[in-house]
């Protein structure tokens, strides 16, 4: 079975976000595999372990993205492709999906796995739009996946319940938390990952004119959440604390 996994590199969810000139400053920030994409990588490796074949990682990014790609290779993926072109630096989902589709269409694949969302932008468009572009069936928000022959059976979450979908292969599957528990790369896996194939492509390599990509969405302003107010701890016996609370609400907060 030939498995393609789409991967994105994002900020660590525990990273401290700093703004500079109205934009997020990536200096010194730890970058990781997009959390939902980790489930896709893990599921791809499990499918390979069960059915044989190979797992190919496909990513769009820059000179830091190989860090995340090498992590996926260390987990057990076989080879990878990075689409690194300056024209895609500020591109929207439409341009990114076109680049992914152009490269993936050159591969021999049975299934394409993605995460359901990008934690940095909140975008949830990849699986559906990639499937439409490649004229493939798609299952989103998948928490269980079984492959039998040329058929995929998925369990997916819907409002108020769950749904079982049966799809012919090839298909696009969007993974989410609950599908599996991603493994940690082993030391031997990390060493092997350094020798695995990682090819880099520019847009012209994919037959795409760089001047044709871009974005129709402009981010006007980014702001950080307001700082939380310091809490007020009231000490003492319950009766005393209740009296002090009533005094604060009446005298200081003017709500009583």
Taking the chain (256 residues) in runs of 10, the rounded mean pLDDT of each run is: 96 80 78 95 98 97 95 98 93 92 97 92 89 97 96 93 96 96 96 97 95 82 78 84 85 71
Place of tokens 């000490």: 235
Three-class SS state of 75: helix
φ/ψ (deg, to 5) at 32: -140, 175
**Is residue 243 situated within a structural domain?**
yes
φ/ψ (deg, to 5) at 254: 60, 40
**Is residue 130 situated within a structural domain?**
yes
Tokens representing 204 are 């012209």
Q: Which of 78, 113, 87 lies closest to 201 in space, CA to CA?
A: 87
Q: Are both 240 and 134 inside the same structural domain? A: no
Q: Which of 147, 193, 190 lies closest to 170 in space, CA to CA?
A: 147
Domain range enclosing 254: 231-256
Q: Are both 65 and 170 inside the same structural domain? A: yes
φ/ψ (deg, to 5) at 12: -60, 135
pLDDT in the model for residue 68:
96
User: pTM score > 0.75 for this model?
Assistant: yes
Q: What is the DSSP letter of 42?
A: H
pLDDT in the model for residue 95:
92
Measured CA to CA in angstroms, residue 53 lies from 30, 44, 46, 77, 85 at distances of: 32, 10, 11, 11, 29
Q: Are both 240 and 126 inside the same structural domain? A: no
Burial degree of 142 (CB within 10 A; 0-12, 13-18, 19+): buried
**Is residue 224 situated within a structural domain?**
no
Radius of gyration (C-alpha) of the chain in whole angstroms: 23
pLDDT in the model for residue 173:
98
Q: Which run of H or E residues covers position 193?
A: helix 187-193
């Amino acid at each position: 079975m030939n498995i393609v996994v789409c991967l994105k590199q994002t900020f660590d969810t525990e990273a401290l976000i700093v703004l500079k000139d109205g934009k997020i400053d990536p200096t010194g920030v730890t970058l990781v595999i997009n959390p939902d994409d980790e489930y896709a990588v893990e599921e791809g490796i499990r499918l390979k372990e069960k059915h044989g074949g190979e797992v190919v990682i496909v990513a769009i990014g820059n000179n830091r993205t190989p860090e995340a790609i090498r992590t996926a290779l260390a987990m057990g993926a076989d080879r990878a492709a990075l689409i690194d072109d300056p024209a895609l630096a500020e591109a929207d989902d439409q341009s990114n999906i076109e680049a992914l589709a152009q490269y993936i269409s050159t591969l021999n694949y049975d299934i394409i796995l993605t995460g359901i969302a990008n934690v940095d932008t909140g975008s949830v468009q990849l699986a559906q739009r990639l499937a439409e572009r490649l004229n493939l069936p798609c299952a989103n928000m998948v928490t269980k996946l079984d492959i039998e022959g040329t058929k995929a059976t998925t369990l997916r979450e819907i409002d108020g319940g769950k749904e079982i979908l049966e799809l012919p292969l090839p298909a696009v599957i969007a993974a989410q938390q609950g599908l599996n528990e991603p493994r940690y790369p082993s030391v031997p896996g990390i060493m092997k990952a350094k020798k695995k194939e990682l090819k880099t492509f520019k847009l012209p390599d994919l037959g795409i004119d760089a001047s044709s990509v871009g974005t129709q969405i402009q981010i006007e302003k980014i702001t950080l959440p307001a700082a939380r107010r310091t809490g007020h701890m009231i000490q003492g016996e319950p009766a005393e604390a209740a009296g002090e609370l009533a005094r604060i609400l009446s005298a200081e907060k003017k709500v009583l």
